[in-house]
Amino acid sequence: MYSQQFPYSVAIKKDEEIYICQCGKTAKSPLCDGSHKQTDGVRPLIFTAEKDQSLTLCGCGKSADIPWCDGSHNR
């Protein structure tokens, strides 16, 4: 999942629900593809948008606020 040195940008509409991968096994980074079913208890983060927005999700794995990018990829 954390295979790049820059964030993912995910556009999401108001009231849309997305499943963000937390297990690292997805083939559809950064979103869940159901692969967590092979892991013990790791579940996706369910996020519901309160407005139309663009999410900035960590692609490098260095963020202190996973799954969100905190700028650590610049260091």
1 makes contact with ligand FES (CB under 6 A): no
69 makes contact with ligand FES (CB under 6 A): yes
Name the 3-class secondary structure at 73.
Answer: helix
Where are any strands of DSSP class E within 1-75? 8-12, 17-20, 45-48, 53-57
Nearer to ligand FES, 25 or 62 (CB): 62
Q: Cis peptide before 30, with omega less than 30 degrees from 0? A: yes
Nearer to ligand FES, 34 or 71 (CB): 71
List interacting residues with ligand FES (CB under 6 A): 6-7, 58-60, 62-63, 69-73
